[in-house]
A and B are shown apart, each in its own frame.
Chain A
Amino acid sequence: MSAPLGSRERVLAKVRAALADVPRGEDPGDAPVPRDYARTHRQGPALDLLVDRLEDYRAQVRRVRGAELPAAVAEALERRGAARVAVPGDAPGEWFSRSGAEVLRDAPWEDRVLSVSELDAVDGAVTGCAVAVAETGTIILDTGEHQGRRALTLVPDYHLCVVRARQVVDGVPEAVERLDPVLPQTWISGPSATSDIELERVEGVHGPRTLEVLLVE
Chain B
Amino acid sequence: MSSATFVGMPAFPDAARGATGNAQLRHNLRKATHTIRGKRGEVVEELDDWAGLREAGRAVKDRTLRHLDHYLERLEEAVTAAGGTVHWASDADEARAIVTRLVHATGEREVVKVKSMATQEIELNNALEQEGITAYETDLAELIVQLGDDLPSHFLVPAIHRNRAEIGRIFRERMGAWGVPAPEGLGDDPRELAEAARRHLRQKFLETRVAVSGANFAVADTGSMVVLESEGNGRMCLTLPETLISVVGIEKLVPSWSDLEVFMQLLPRSSTGERMNPYSTVWTGVTPGDGPQEFHLVLLDNGRTDTLADRVGRQALRCIRCSACLNICPVYERTGGHAYGSVYPGPIGAILTPQLQGMQGPVEKALPFASTLCGACYDVCPVAIDIPEVLVHLRERAVEGKRPGPEKTAMAAAEWVLDDPRRMHLAQRAASSLRGAVPRRLPGPGAAWTDTRDLPDIPERPFRDWWREHARGGEEQR
Contacts and interface: CB of A to CB of B under 8 A. Distances in A.
Given A7-B89, A16-B69, A133-B276, A37 B53 contact: yes
A175 B257 CA distance: 12
Interface stretch (A21-29, A67-75, A79-87, A90-98): A21-29
Interface in B199-251: 201-202, 205-206, 219, 222, 224, 230-233, 235-236, 239-240, 250
B230 A195 contact: yes
Given A28-B255, A189-B279, A149 B289 contact: yes
B177 interface: no
A188 B279 contact: yes
A37 B71 CA distance: 24
Given A7-B88, A33-B60, A176-B257, A182 B284 contact: yes
Given A116-B206, A150-B291, A21 B311 contact: yes
A41 B49 contact: yes
B450 interface: no
Contacts of B51: 36
B308 A19 contact: yes
Most buried by B among A43, A108, A185: A185
A149 B240 CA distance: 11
Secondary structure type dominating chain A contacts = loop
A207 B279 contact: yes
Interface residues of A, number: 78
B261 A182 contact: no
A32 to B, nearest CB: 6
Given A11-B301, A34-B56, A135 B291 contact: no
Given A19-B66, A31-B59, A33-B60, A188 B49 contact: no
Contact of B278 (A8, A149, A155, A193): A193
A30 B401 CA distance: 38
A27 B268 CA distance: 31
Given A4-B98, A10-B90, A138 B49 contact: no
Contacts of B427: none
Interface of A: 3-4, 7-8, 10-12, 14-19, 21-22, 26, 28, 31-38, 41, 43, 53, 57, 108-109, 113, 116-117, 120, 133, 135-138, 143, 149-151, 154-155, 172-173, 175-177, 179, 181-200, 202, 204-208
